[in-house]
Amino acid sequence: HQRLTRYKLLLKILSEKTPNESSEFKQLIEASTELKQIQNIALQNQQQANQLQETQRKIIGLKEPLLSSDRFLIVEGNLLYGDGKEKHECYVFIFNDMILVTKPISTNTSIPQFRYKHKIIFEVPSVIKSLPNTDSQSKIGFQLLIGTSNYT
């Protein structure tokens, strides 16, 4: 990140000393624009990595690291499941490539803790769509499309 900041400063100094009508000036402006895009991507990647590391600290019993260059957290929250008679509750972390199912074990600490139960890996291209909230008790609604299967 520091190197990108230095490049930005260098491009600014060079563009100030380059005549506006020259082709070099236009190239410097283009390079500055591309550098800004790269900085935004680097910042976004760092934020995603920090979020994955924070999530990792919350989950007890998860053996493999969550940090991966192509993984990001979409949503986390309580999930109620079961048939009409019997309801169960768990806490899920939904990523772009998997779902981690956990059980809350401590909410009294500054960082809530969860016990890892199992994971569901998306092995085929998957899509997660947000659904409108139609139930006043529900906070999160989503539809998971995995291959030809559809889970709501």
What are the tens digits of pLDDT across the range 6-37? 888 899 899 999 999 999 999 999 999 999 99
Confidence of residue 56 (pLDDT cuts 50, 70, 90): very high
CA 111: distance to chain centroid? 19
pLDDT confidence bin for 146, thresholds 50/70/90:
low
User: What pLDDT is stored for residue 128 in this prediction?
Assistant: 61
| Contact by Cβ (8 Å): 126, 145 | yes
d(CA 124, CA 97): 9
Work out the pLDDT band at 111, boundaries 50, 70, 90.
confident
User: What would the mean pLDDT of 62-86 be, rounded to a whole number?
Assistant: 83
Region 107-118 average pLDDT: 84
pTM: 0.67
Q: Who's near 151: CB < 8 A, 6+ residues apart?
A: 143, 144, 145
Find all residues with CB under 8 Å of 131, minimum gap 6, and list them.
141, 142, 143, 152
What is the separation of C-alpha 115 from the centre of its chain, rounded to a whole number of angstroms? 21
**Is residue 95 within 8 Å of residue 72, measured between CB atoms?**
yes
